[in-house]
Amino acid sequence: MDYDEHEHVIEVTDLKRVYGGGFEAVRGISFSVARGEIFALLGTNGAGKTSTVELLEGLAEPAEGRIRILGHDPYRERAAVRPRTGVMLQEGGFPAELTVAETARMWAGCTSGARPEAEALALVGLTGKHEVRVKQLSGGERRRLDLALALLNDPEVLFLDEPTTGLDAEGRRDTWELVRALRDAGTTVLLTTHYLEEAEGLADRLAILHEGRIAVSGTPAEVTAGRPSRMSFELPQGYFLGDLPPLAELGVSGHEVEGRVVRLRTTELQLTATRVLTWAERAGVELRALDVRSASLEEAFLGIAREQTRGQASAQAQEVAA
Amino acid sequence: MSTLEVAGTRARGASPTTAAGRLRALGRAELALLARNRGVVFTAVSVPLLLPFSVRPALDHVDLKKQGLTVGTTMLTAAIGFSFLFAVYTSLVNAYVARREELVLKRLRTGELSDAEILAGTALPAVGIGLAQAVVVSAACAALLHTGAPKAPYLLLPGVLAGLVISAGLAALTAAFTRTVESGQVTALPLMFVSMLGSGITFPTEIMPRRLASVCEMLPLSAPIRLVRGGWTGQLSGYEVLGALGTALAWAILAVFAGRRWFRWEPRR
């Protein structure tokens, strides 16, 4: 077997996608995914996640750039790539009037080395639903049917476009467990999501897309590193921000006050928390709605959106000035 | 969920699918879908069998004998022409548009099927029904309307095949500019009307004025209908046979090419 731990099964170089109207959805992105890795593409709606994944799946040809999936061009060398990949689109795509079993049978008939349909359906917990028509499935069940069919050929590379959208908490956990088990068995997974905790918990590496470009990428730890942690609380009656020790002494790098709620940003969370709590104890006051959290993907995500908007605003201002 | 092997189950390279196997799987699913769409089934099956009888009274006013035609052969070609239009053309416009709008075609394109296989597999049941109707109608006419055996049976097969292929190709092309299943009832009308009136389906082109008839002979379904009728009557000259075969072949190639070239795989958003 051609197994190589460092083999990049997905390689993307300077990828661009332009739609008919001239809209540039993907504006030059590059990344690679190693075998057995879970890679997440994050981004707000319209950031270019689905546009990118569709190119990787070989559904459309990029305007510019190069894609290699398992060493092949997914659009031009469709026949070489498809038997080794599994795809779950963002939205269903199964005839409403077929039953679950009929849908699975059809897909199995079009899939090389397909595992038994009942086994694939059991993997996603649809065992009791074989005779149910697709139109009668819940949104979550339809997502799981889609996943089952993507797994029929035991793919080497699995593309999941928002796999847990529409699932309840339990279904989401089950899917995460399944994706981890697939990764542990050597499957390479590329997924898109707008659930930050999904990316944080699942992905080995991730990239945050913003307006068609990769704003930041790396392991979840790398992406959140350098992002401030947060502490927030309600000031007691009669107290004001100035009653706290000087913010610089607290290690605070930024703050907001909204009504009685104080939000502090810090890169030294332990120091900040200790000093604020010590102050509260000495002053004999209770800090209600106390919330202390270390840097998260959410902070990174919101930070990127903020910075870029600001960057744009200043760029526009410069244009106006010039 | 955890007791099953999630991955590593596949013997790599084992049992690759074949084009025939993929077409069978898709065609079978499509047949199940067709069977569940009662309206389409009713139209596809009943119209070609019933509509020819509505043509019959008109035939009484036409001197068919002078053209070497009989009521039997005229109704037979009408039935086969209606089969091209209703069992194949309109039902396929419906199927292509419905599958596209449900994102079924997009999902199929993520799998191992080639684009041509997706179009062909979706068309299989409708084409199959069209073929079956041609056989049944021919047998029924021979038995009930005393048309006797076809005089040039070797023309029937290319005629029917070309008609089926042209109808399917033009259905793919029509689906390209049809946004919803409902609007398909309108976008399919032009070809229906033109073919019924001009391709010798409701009445033979032989009774048209000569100049009009020669224009109508170039319509998409005219040559297949001529071949079918000629196959029964045996009245086409060698020259006419070659002309009809050439026209039918040209339309078949053109329809398939255009259907593939302009087909839309995803809904407009």
Each residue of A8-57: pLDDT tens digit?
899 999 999 999 888 999 999 999 999 999 999 998 888 899 999 999 99
Question: Quick one: CATH architecture of A229-294?
Answer: 2-Layer Sandwich (3.30)
**Which of B7, B9, B33 lies closest to A98 in CB terms?**
B33
Class of the CATH-defined domain A8-224: alpha beta
Q: Flag whether pLDDT at A196 surpasses 90.
A: no
Cβ–Cβ below 8 Å for A110 and B15:
no
* Nearest-Cα residue of chain B relative to residue A176: B1
Considering only CB atoms, which chain A residues are within 8 Å of B99? 95
Tell which of A3, A112, A131 to mutate to test the B interface (max B CBs under 10 Å): A112
Q: How near does any CA of chain B get to the CA of A30, in Å?
A: 22
Three-class SS state of A233:
strand
Cβ–Cβ below 8 Å for B10 and A119:
no
Q: Flag whether pLDDT at A315 surpasses 80.
A: no
Tell which of B22, B40, B112 to mutate to test the A interface (max A CBs under 10 Å): B112
Cβ–Cβ below 8 Å for B16 and A83:
yes
**Residue B206 neighbours by CB under 8 Å, 6+ apart:** B67, B69, B200, B213
* Nearest-Cα residue of chain A relative to residue B3: A123
One fold for A8-224 and A229-294: no
Instruction: Please answer whether residues B167 and B88 qualify as being in contact, where contact means their C-beta atoms are separated by less than 8 angstroms.
Output: yes
Q: What is the pTM of this model?
A: 0.87
Helix (H) or strand (E) holding A210: strand A205-210
Instruction: Please answer whether residues A187 and A157 qualify as being in contact, where contact means their C-beta atoms are separated by less than 8 angstroms.
Output: yes
pLDDT in tens, A199-256: 988 999 999 999 999 998 999 988 888 788 889 999 998 898 888 899 988 989 889 8
Q: Identify the burial level of B17 via C-beta atoms within 10 angstroms of its C-beta, where 0-12 means exposed, 13-18 middle and 19 or more buried.
A: buried
Residue stretches of chain B with pLDDT short of 50 = 1-2
Q: How near does any CA of chain A get to the CA of B112, in Å?
A: 5
Cβ–Cβ below 8 Å for B25 and A109:
yes
Give the pLDDT confidence score for residue A307 in this predicted structure. 72
Which tokens go with B256?
A: 């398939």
Which tokens go with A175?
A: 């899917």
Q: How near does any CA of chain B get to the CA of A88, in Å?
A: 8
How many beta carbons lie within 10 A of that of residue A90, not counting itself?
18
**Which of B11, B25, B37 lies closest to A110 in CB terms?**
B25
Considering only CB atoms, which chain A residues are within 8 Å of B1? 122-125, 174, 177-178
Give the pLDDT confidence score for residue B74 in this predicted structure. 83
* Mean pLDDT computed over every residue of chain A: 90
Q: How near does any CA of chain A get to the CA of B29, in Å?
A: 6
* Nearest-Cα residue of chain B relative to residue A100: B29
Percent of chain B with pLDDT over 70: 94
From A8, A51, A5, A53, select the one nearest A32 (Cα to Cα).
A8
Which tokens go with B18?
A: 């074949």
Distance between CA atoms of residues A190 and A70, nearest Å: 13
For chain A, count helices (H), then strands (E).
10, 13
**Which of B6, B28, B109 lies closest to A181 in CB terms?**
B6
Taking CA atoms, A179 is separated from A172, A202, A310, B114, B182, in Å, by 11, 8, 37, 28, 40
Give the pLDDT confidence score for residue B244 in this predicted structure. 95
pLDDT in tens, A151-173: 999 999 999 999 998 889 999 99
Give the pLDDT confidence score for residue A5 in this predicted structure. 47
Cβ–Cβ below 8 Å for A178 and B6:
yes
Instruction: Indicate the pairing of strand A188-193 with strand A157-161.
Output: parallel
Q: How near does any CA of chain B get to the CA of A75, in Å?
A: 10
Considering only CB atoms, which chain A residues are within 8 Å of B13? 113
* Nearest-Cα residue of chain A relative to residue B26: A106
Distance between CA atoms of residues A122 and B4, nearest Å: 8
Give the pLDDT confidence score for residue B12 in this predicted structure. 52
Alpha carbon A103 to its chain's center: 28
Q: Flag whether pLDDT at A318 surpasses 70.
A: no
* Nearest-Cα residue of chain A relative to residue B14: A113
Domain boundaries, chain A: 8-224, 229-294
Taking CA atoms, B219 is separated from B163, B193, B214, in Å, by 12, 12, 10
* Nearest-Cα residue of chain A relative to residue B115: A78
Considering only CB atoms, which chain A residues are within 8 Å of B103? 89, 91-93
Which tokens go with A229?
A: 């942690």
**Residue A250 neighbours by CB under 8 Å, 6+ apart:** A244, A264, A266, A271, A272, A275, A276
**Which of B6, B22, B104 lies closest to A110 in CB terms?**
B22
Q: Flag whether pLDDT at A1 surpasses 50.
A: no
Instruction: Please answer whether residues A43 and A213 qualify as being in contact, where contact means their C-beta atoms are separated by less than 8 angstroms.
Output: no
